[in-house]
Amino acid sequence: MMLGKTAGGLFWMFRYIERAENIARLLEAGWHIALTRGSDGSNEWESILTTAGMNVAYQEKFDEVTAQNVINFMLRDRENPSSVMSAITTARNNARTVRTSLSSEVWEAVNECWMEMKDTLARPVTERSMHDILTQIRFRTSVVRGALHGTMLRNDIFAFSRLGTMIERVDNTARILDVKYYVLLPSAAYVGTSIDNTQWEIILRSVSAERSYSWLHGAETSAASIANFVLLDARMPRSLAFGTKRIGTYLRDLEEDYGVRHDCHAMAETLCRKVEKRSIESVFDEGLHEFLSSFISDTAKLAGQIEKDFRFYG
């Protein structure tokens, strides 16, 4: 059985790699939404800070919300432990700790990601340069993920790495959807209007699902069909259904490898049932915000139970 410290290092290494990519996606979504609105866009940037859980830390440092401050705070501020640069640095530190468990390709991909982003984010990011930098972040993190898939044995090392990725991913997708529907939408009166549909389309782009959605649904862009795709379609790799299914798979692999069933296994099965064979109508009847808030809370509890069950910290 793997040492808990090693398992935790792998789990958190890939959580932070995924988090860096997700922050880039959140910023891109906020940028596009701000461009579609006629105001100064400050509400959109506040919403992005809220989604990322950075609003309190931001307010301690800045008196007002501006695009320039938010972008640099979320991308390159080393005093912000959740910035992209901080996340990639922490991922690299974890990779160094568990280096003997990684293939040389994975280690090199993480190290190159850190070196390139350290250079790129050494200078302030402007709105003009932001798009290229966000693309660079997504590319570099995808190289790390590709190295893992292409070079690692499908064993407990792989399972803990992918668990970290999927826990972070479903949490992020739920938060993006929640901030869109609960914070960004100006008023319930806008539901179903062109403004609402535009924001849903932006959410598709933020989870790299615009093309795959159009393959399945053509030009239809209703809130119900898009929410169903991002929440409940297990074919879409950033959906809640896909992520929870994979979490269950990797935990079952660990149960089989170690011959031990923990509390986290039952919690994962409950989380899977939350989205498995659900209709989007039943989700809307429950209340989308209520559903997503509950899902986010359950995901955090599951992550904490995984850490406890596999003794990440001793």
Nearest to 113 by CA among 82, 80, 147: 147
- Cα Dmax for the chain: 58
Amino acid at 213: Y
The pLDDT confidence band at residue 153, using thresholds 50, 70 and 90, is very high
What are the pLDDT digits (tens) for 77-86?
Answer: 999 999 999 9
Rounded percentage of the chain residues whose pLDDT exceeds 90: 67
pLDDT score, position 108: 98
pLDDT score, position 268: 98
The pLDDT confidence band at residue 183, using thresholds 50, 70 and 90, is low
Q: Which CATH class is domain 1-152?
A: mainly alpha
pLDDT at position 193 over 60: no
Read off the tokens for 158: 């792989």
Quote the pTM value: 0.91
Give start and end residues of each alpha helix (H) in 98-239. Answer: 104-120, 127-151, 156-178, 194-206, 210-217, 223-232
pLDDT score, position 185: 54
What are the pLDDT digits (tens) for 277-296?
Answer: 899 999 988 888 899 999 99
Q: Average model confidence (pLDDT) for the chain?
A: 89
Nearest to 251 by CA among 270, 278, 237: 270
Read off the tokens for 173: 């997708």
How many whole angstroms separate alpha carbon 288 and alpha carbon 293?
A: 8
pLDDT at position 64 over 60: yes
pLDDT at position 103 over 90: yes
Question: By the 8 A CB rule, do 98 and 9 touch?
Answer: yes
| CA angle (24, 306, 96) in 5-degree steps | 60
